[in-house]
Amino acid sequence: MENNIILKKVSKEYKDFKLNDISFNVPKGSVVGLIGENGVGKTTTIKAILNIISSQGTIIVLGKDNKKYEQEIKQEIGVVLDDSFLSDYIDIKKIDSIMKDFYKNWDSKKYFNYIKKFKLPKDKMINDFSTGMKMKLKIITAISHNPKILILDEPTSGLDPVVRNEILDIFREFIAEDEERSILMSTHITSDLEHISDYIVFIDNGHIIFNLPTEELLENYGIVKCKKEEFEKIKKEDYIKYKKEKYQYEILVNDRFKFKKIYPINTIDRASIEDIMLFYIKGENK
Amino acid sequence: MNNIKGLIKKDLYNLSSYKMTVLVLVAFIALFGSFSEDSIQFIPIAISAAIGMIMLSTFNYDESSKSEHYILSLPTNKREVIKSKYILIILGNIIGSIIGVIITILAAYIVAFIKKSGIPQIDYGLIFTYALGGFFGVSLIEAIQIPSIYKWGAEKGRIQMFILIFILVMLIMGIVYIAGNITFNIDLAFLENLFGKYGVLLEVLMICLMYFISYKVSNKIYKNKE
């Protein structure tokens, strides 16, 4: 399997935070979700890939070193950053005029088609746009030069479910258009990833906790609900974390089918990505 | 080069909202400058200073829109971002000075017309000297201001700019006071001759040197900024 992005032992140290030896790949034709709490290193990882911040380790994008071939690589990347865009004091037409100068493959026709499709006002300043409209514009701008990679930092945060769904549709369409394309998407709204991602990379405190196919996570991981007596009989190596609730114990297991064969406990639910994330962060070990 | 064009375009589009402000400001300066024949000479200084300060406000637009990281995610780099700012600001100063000179000449004609004093006696050399002086002053402020904006941001930089202007005014007043009260053993004729012959060249060289040093410092600061 070929990869569009490869990170090998990427580190970045700040005064109060350290991104520690992050390694993962973004394969061609896939959507990789970067999850974790706020401030654990998701945005730092994205900024390191884009060479916005300096970092240690190796980052290969489209087969090239991200520092050596920075501008060449960026021609093939579309970026959406949660809190940063061109300017609030320009309009849609001016963005087209600016982007033409930056991207060799900028497609004005495609850009304005999307603008029309999403009914964005051409003559209004971005400052007057709603949060959803702004995000749609950011995404349209990111895909209108036909990039091979989309890098998205919290593209759905603060949006209502209808707009979120529309935006996820754009991503689906983007991947479906060309199987060589990839998306790397950081988010803390994990339910979005259940619908769209192929792999989940979970970062906590600057470390990768797991990097697994989404299907495997959703299919195999489970939450066992049991009484104290039952919990005490469970071996430490057969579960990942547990939470003590008011009347029962909840246990996260990485293979609910195997667990069911070993222990005579009937209540085992599927775990959502959010459940898994919360167990890893808030759960305890024996 | 296209990237720099795109970056300059972005700043000019931001500044386009200042169109009316600039027109009103220029008209205001021209009006007040035309009150007497002496004050007319200060029009080019005031206009180039006003336009120079407006150019610096592009940093405020970037800061308020938090566009710095997004811009760096485009196919450009920090060096090009800085280069585009300096090109824009220097071009703004040149245009500001030219506008200042034109407005001054126009104002002189208008004053002469109102006073019915015939064709005005315009000292073009003096207007040019004042325009260049204004250009020099604005360049000096910007050359110090731009690296400090890269270091501390546009908001803190604005406070720092007022402090800087205050220090410069105090310094100039101090020099004028000292020059008026203390007798120096300097060959004034030699200095007059030197500035008369090479003053413009020296001033232009100084402006180039100031911007060059400022550009290098900005580059160093921004390169290490995260």
**Same domain for A183 and A239:** no
Same domain, A188 and A261: no
Task: Give the β-pairing of A77-80 and A149-153.
Answer: parallel
Lowest mean pLDDT among A63-67, B86-90, B141-145: B141-145
Is residue A60 located within the same domain as residue A161?
A: yes
pLDDT digits (tens, 9 = 90+) for A166-193: 888 889 999 999 989 999 999 888 888 9
Three-state DSSP state, A46: helix
Yes or no, beta carbons of B2 and A101 under 8 Å apart: yes
Residues A163 and A68 in one domain: yes
Distance in angstroms (rounded) separating the CA atoms of residues B32 and B36: 9
Task: Give A151's contacts in chain B (Cβ within 8 Å).
Answer: 73
Chain B residues within 8 A of A54 when measuring between CB atoms: 226
Q: Judge whether B64 is closer than 8 Å to chain A, CB to CB.
A: yes
> Are residues A196 and A114 part of one domain?
yes
Shared-domain flag, residues A24 and A141? yes
- Give the per-residue pLDDT at B184: 64
d(C-alpha B134, C-alpha B43), whole Å: 9
- Going by C-beta distance under 8 Å and a sequence separation of 6 or more, which residues neighbour residue A215? A198
For the sheet with A222-226, list strands across it: A241-244, A249-253, A222-226, A268-270
Question: Is the Cβ–Cβ distance between B84 and B8 less than 8 Å?
Answer: yes
Q: How close A73 comes to chain B (CA, Å)?
A: 8
Give yes or no for residue A211 having a pLDDT over 70. yes
pLDDT at A135 exceeding the cut of 80? yes
Tell whether A98 and A152 lie within a shared domain.
yes
Please indicate, yes or no, whether residues A152 and A258 belong to a single structural domain of this protein.
Answer: no
Cα B103 to Cα B88: distance, rounded to the nearest angstrom: 22
Domain boundary among A216, A242, A269: A216
Structure confidence at residue A167 (pLDDT):
87
Per-residue CA distances from A71 to A62, A67, A106, B72, B78 (Å): 13, 9, 15, 10, 11
Does residue B30 or residue A125 have the better pLDDT? A125
User: Residues B190-217: pLDDT tens digits?
Assistant: 777 777 778 888 889 999 999 999 999 9
Do A165 and A88 lie in one domain? The reply is yes
Is the domain of A81 the same as that of A13?
Answer: yes
Strand partners of residue A253: A222
Expressed in angstroms, the distance from the first to the final Cα of chain A is 39
Q: How far is B82 from chain A (nearest CA, A)?
A: 15
**Interchain pair B68, A79: CB under 8 A:** no
The partner residue sitting opposite A84, judged by closest CB among B10, B61, B67, is B67
A191 and A89 within one domain: yes
Q: Give me the domain span that covers residue A270.
A: 221-282
Q: Are A198 and A229 in the same domain?
A: no
Nearest to A61 by CA among A184, A209, A201: A184
Examine the fold and report which residue of A199, A216, A233 is the final residue of a domain before the chain moves on. A216
Q: What is the CATH number of the domain that holds A175?
A: 3.40.50.300
Of the three residues A201, A216, A231, the one that is the final residue of a domain is A216
Nearest CA in chain A to B15: A89
Q: How many domains does chain A have?
A: 2
